[in-house]
Amino acid sequence: TLRAALEALTVAAPRWAAEHVDAAMVRRYGARIDEWRLPKDQPGRRKLAAQVGTDGYQLLAAVFDGQAPPWLGEISAVEVLRQVWIQQYVRGEAGREVIWRDADIDGEPAGQNQDHLPV
């Protein structure tokens, strides 16, 4: 999902993407997810999920910051990213901490169809 949004933004607005997408994010998500070596332990998975969540929120903040072209937020891959992040992540009290949603603790988001994975 994050990779798809990055690719869509790069195609639709290459100049904007070059100026607003962090190079480290491009390196992290340039490869297909099936090429990744995912952590086998739960703490490692949570750490990776938090990094993915933080990166996704960073991208969404850039898209919706008011200075970006408004139509960027209308790109379907960006809208899917926004919806999936609502479903899969919660923010800490200050809004800076990104936590992978645990349905047992955080509950399910109301009325959401959870068809997507976060990456």
Which residue range forms the structural domain that includes residue 40?
Answer: 2-106
Q: Is the dihedral of CA 1, 78, 12, 67 positive or negative?
A: negative
Which pLDDT does position 8 carry in this prediction? Answer: 96
- 116 within some domain: no
pTM assigned to the model: 0.81
Strand pairing report for 89-91 and 98-100 = antiparallel
Query: Which whole number is the average pLDDT over 18-23?
Result: 92
- 37 within some domain: yes
118 or 19, higher pLDDT: 19
- 113 within some domain: no
Using one digit for the tens of pLDDT, what is the confidence trace for 56-71? 999 999 999 999 999 9
Give residues with Cβ within 8 angstroms of 28, minimum separation 6: 51, 55
- 117 within some domain: no
- Nearest to 54, CA basis, from 85, 23, 98, 89: 98
- 111 within some domain: no
Using one digit for the tens of pLDDT, what is the confidence trace for 29-48? 876 666 667 788 888 888 88
- 112 within some domain: no
- Nearest to 39, CA basis, from 30, 31, 48: 48
- Give the percent of the chain with pLDDT over 70: 81
Number of domains in the chain: 1
Task: Tell me the C-alpha distance between 37 and 68, whole Å.
Answer: 34
- 47 within some domain: yes
